[in-house]
Amino acid sequence: MITRKRPVAGVCALLAALTAGLVAFPAGASAGEPAGRDAPKVNLVLDVSGSMRAKDIDGQSRMAAAKQAFNEVLDATPEEVRLGIRTLGADYAGDDRKEGCKDTAQLYPVGPLDRTEAKTAVATLVPTGWTPIGPALLKAADDLEGGDGSKRIVLISDGEDTCAPLDPCEVAREIAAQGIGLTIDTLGLVPDAELSRQLSCIAEATGGTYTSVEHQDELTDRVNELVDRAAEPVVTPVATRGGDTCAKAPTLKSGLYTDREEFGQQRWYRVELLAGQELRASVSVAADRAVRPDYGVLLRAVTVHGREIVRGEAAGNGRTDVLSTGLRHPKPERDDDDSDKPAAEVVCLAVTNSFSADSGVKTTPGLPLELTVDVVDGPDGAGDVASFGLGRGWWLLGALVLTGFVAGLLWGWLSRWRFAVWRTN
């Protein structure tokens, strides 16, 4: 019996070694990648206005449900997340609207989390005053200043802002226009159409999400999900400002960029290519406010002399708030007169939109634009075309096929050997 088990153990050891080698392959390939970014930051903004006294969430008050949810979220917050808590409407109980609209405070500063201290602070909250969502969002953004890690505000409220004309939706657009990569997610504790409209608008302005919750466990689960999402590695877009012409446009390298484009405006960007490189670019323009149906987005690659090389375009009819399109410009050839040196080429990218604002809708700031630029080495010939874009994955696939072949041979040999031994016995 012992003799029969030895080949099995040998095969398992070989397969384990092969598997370990395959697993180690990607790890070694990525060893030269840059180190991680700063710690992610999350600011929980809680409505503590008088309406939070209402007892309509699982038989308890909205405030009690929020406190319980916060306690569970604090217990589950990942160690790497820098978390803070800001309140609105927690301190001023009077009738002076001016004072009520200043009522926002940092309950727990954004930083390393002391769970006991944060829970103690949350336990002191009592539903009190107004609902200054706009002012609270401005302060919450300030709380998250510094660092290049992801930044997220999670707003929980049971009512609309009571401090107009400082429209919280406009505040969110201003925050998005700063290009600091801050996302605002909103949660509504009341199934109200106007509240839903306002909180949806706030979230959409920054690429966030809106969720309506009616139970305490739903609130806990959703906030936990958003805090965990902040800890996930993300690419933070770089804020840029396109030019009115190609000559005045910024020169971009491979990366993700954000900008703002006015209604019907054209923005220009420049990309430099060497011989053997090709350009891939894509753009998304979002309608973060009410627009008229039938609109489009056009992305063109143009030479510095104005000749169009290639274009990508997309059209919408009011059913989607984001339009995206892309293009690919093949590698430039070498200059025949100077074949020893790489021929450089400047490509101008022009982004044009045909959105138009609905009646009475503000046109500033411009619509959020996200541009992806990828400069890559182009395929050198027919032999490269099949594997183009696969990179290390192509080698991994080959290694997997080889491993399967070797494992099959070994398993067949082992089966025949065991059968021969069984016949002998």
Report whether 90 contacts 129 (CB < 8 A): yes
pLDDT at 87: 97
Please, what is the average pLDDT of the chain?
81
Report whether 160 contacts 195 (CB < 8 A): yes
The pTM for the full model equals: 0.54
pLDDT at 177: 80
Tokens of 384: 């490269």
- What's the Cα-to-Cα distance from 247 to each of 135, 208, 244, rounded to whole Å? 40, 35, 8
Length of the chain counted residue by residue: 425
* Confidence band for 385, pLDDT divided at 50, 70 and 90: very low
Q: Quick check: 71 pLDDT over 90?
A: yes
For residue 109, how many other CB atoms are within 10 A of its CB?
14
Please, which residues bridge with residue 265 across strands? Answer: none
Q: Quick check: 34 pLDDT over 60?
A: no
Looking at residue 408, its amino acid is G
> Can you tell me whether residue 294 is helix, strand or coil?
coil
pLDDT at 378: 64
Residues 6+ apart with CB under 8 A from 373: 252, 253, 254, 255, 257, 269, 271, 279, 280, 281, 349
Q: Quick check: 293 pLDDT over 50?
A: yes
Residue 188, classified by CB atoms within 10 Å of its CB into exposed (0-12), middle (13-18) or buried (19+), is buried
pLDDT in tens, 43-68: 999 999 999 999 999 999 999 999 99
Q: Quick check: 270 pLDDT over 60?
A: yes
Q: Buried b / exposed e across 238-277, counting CB within 10 Å, b at 16+?
A: eebebeeebeebeebeeebbbbbbebebbbbbbbebebbb
> Can you tell me whether residue 25 is helix, strand or coil?
helix
Q: Quick check: 268 pLDDT over 50?
A: yes
pLDDT at 76: 93
Domains, in order of start, for the chain = 41-231 (3.40.50.410), 238-379 (2.60.120.380)
pLDDT at 28: 35
pLDDT at 61: 96
Give the residue with greater pLDDT, 194 vs 381.
Answer: 194
d(CA 144, CA 84): 9
